[in-house]
Every structure is written in structure tokens, then in C-alpha cells.
Amino acid sequence: MKQENKIRLVKYLVCLCVAIGIAVAVFAINGFFTDDPQINLQILADGFSVSGVLLLLFAGVQFVSGEGALLGIGFVMRNVVLAFVPMGRAKHETYAQYRERKMGNIRKPGDHCLLITGLVFLLVGIVFMVIWYSL
């Protein structure tokens, strides 16, 4: 197995473990295995849906930040901090210079482990939800 495939496998395993951890936390909060099977099915649907939606939101934030949409917020925060630092204005740069410098440092992820894992968990949650509503 190539080194690149091993790294990708580790990323997917970490995403899977995080999603399972979120689902188990939702199960524990809602008291899984304490009620009748219909309520347990609802708790399963909630756990998988919550973990899937959270991973999809993280994937969206990762995509947006990779495109440079959050650079303006960082530029403003940096200038606010520099306004209170003595001689901070000596380090001032324009937004175009800041964006060019920061876009050179941004690396785009080649795999989409958060997106795929989130979609799988959301799909499982939707399946449990459909089963729960059909009962």
C-alpha cells in the first residue's frame, strides 16, 4: 500500500471515529436502551443525523476557508490588534497584499473525508427516520 493511501485511510478512520463518538454521545444523552424499541429507533435516527450534519458543516467550513472567504475577517482582526500595539501601524499592509500572502499559504485538501463520512451518517440517519415514521 502506498504512503498516500495509508494517509487517506487514516483520515477516513479518524473521521469515522469522530462521527461515531458524536453519535454515541447523542445516544447517551437521550438514554439509549432505556425505553421501548420505537423510541430507540428515534434515538438512532437522531444520533446518526446529528453526527452527519455536524460533519457536513465542518466540511463546508473547510471548503469556505480553503477558498479564502474568511480572509477578510482575519485581516480586520489583525488590524484591530495592531491598532492597540505600539508602532503596530508600521506593519500595515493593504488587503490585496494580505490576501496574496495568505492565499499562498492555503493548501487545498485532496480528499473529502469529512464530506463523505457526513453524507453516509446523514443517509443512515434518514433511513432510521423513515423506518421510525413508517412504524
Q: pTM score, two decimals?
A: 0.80
Query: Based on the number of CB atoms within 10 Å of its own CB, is 125 exposed (0-12), middle (13-18) or buried (19 or more)?
Result: buried
Count CB neighbours of 51 within 10 A.
Answer: 25
> Would you mind telling me the total number of residues written for the chain in this entry?
135
Question: Does position 122 have pLDDT exceeding 80, yes or no?
Answer: yes
Distance separating alpha carbons of residues 56 and 122, to the nearest angstrom: 9
Q: With DSSP H G I counted as helix, E B as strand and the rest as coil, what are the percentages for the chain, rounded to 5?
A: 80, 0, 20
Show Cβ contacts of residue 89 under 8 Å, excluding neighbours closer than 6 positions.
82, 83
C-alpha cell at 87: 508602532
Q: How confident is the model over 68-89, as pLDDT tens digits?
A: 778 888 888 888 888 888 876 6
Q: How confident is the model over 3-50, as pLDDT tens digits?
A: 888 888 999 999 999 999 999 999 999 887 777 788 889 999 999 999
Count CB neighbours of 96 within 10 A.
Answer: 8
Distance separating alpha carbons of residues 91 and 81, to the nearest angstrom: 11
